[in-house]
Amino acid sequence: MVEYLSTDWIDALREAARADEALARAAAEVELTLQQHVTDTPAGTVSYYVTFDRGEVYVQAGEVTEPDVAFVQDYATASAVAQGTLNALEALQKGRITIHGDARALTRNQEVLAALDRSFTRVREQTTFG
C-alpha cells in the first residue's frame, strides 16, 4: 500500500503509466504537460506533473516551468477525486479545482486523459488515504 500524494504514490503512478500500452498508444501524437498542485495536505502543498511526449508518459514530483495546464485544489477535493467519490468536472464547476493555462488542451486531448485516468485508477486500489 502507498499513501496518497507520497513519493511512493507518485512512483506508483509513474510505473503504472510506463507499463500501460493503451496509454502509450493514446499518447502517440500528444505533447502536453499537466501540473497538479494540492494544497493543505498534512505535508503542505504537494506538486507533481504528467508529461505526454509522443507516446512516452512521465510522472514526476515537483513543478515544471511551463505546464500547458495547471490544476490547483485542496487536499479534501483532491483526495475525494482520487478515491472516485467526487467527479472532477463537478469539482471544477463548483470552484473546488482551479485551472490555469490552456483549458482547451483538455478538450483536445480527452482520449489520452481518459486513458491516463484508467491507468491511475489501478493505483487507487493500492492507495491509502489519510
Distance CA 41, CA 125 (A): 21
Q: What is the pLDDT of residues 37-90, one digit of tens each?
A: 999 999 999 999 999 999 999 999 999 999 999 999 999 999 999 998 999 989
Question: What is the Cα–Cα distance from 17 to 70, expressed in whole angstroms?
Answer: 19
Q: Is the pLDDT of residue 1 over 90?
A: yes
Please give the Cα distance from 117 to 47 (Å, whole number). 18
Task: Supply the pLDDT for residue 103.
Answer: 94
Q: What is the pTM of this model?
A: 0.95
Domains in the chain, please, with CATH?
2-128 (3.30.1050.10)
Q: pLDDT for 3-23, tens place per residue?
A: 999 999 999 999 999 999 999
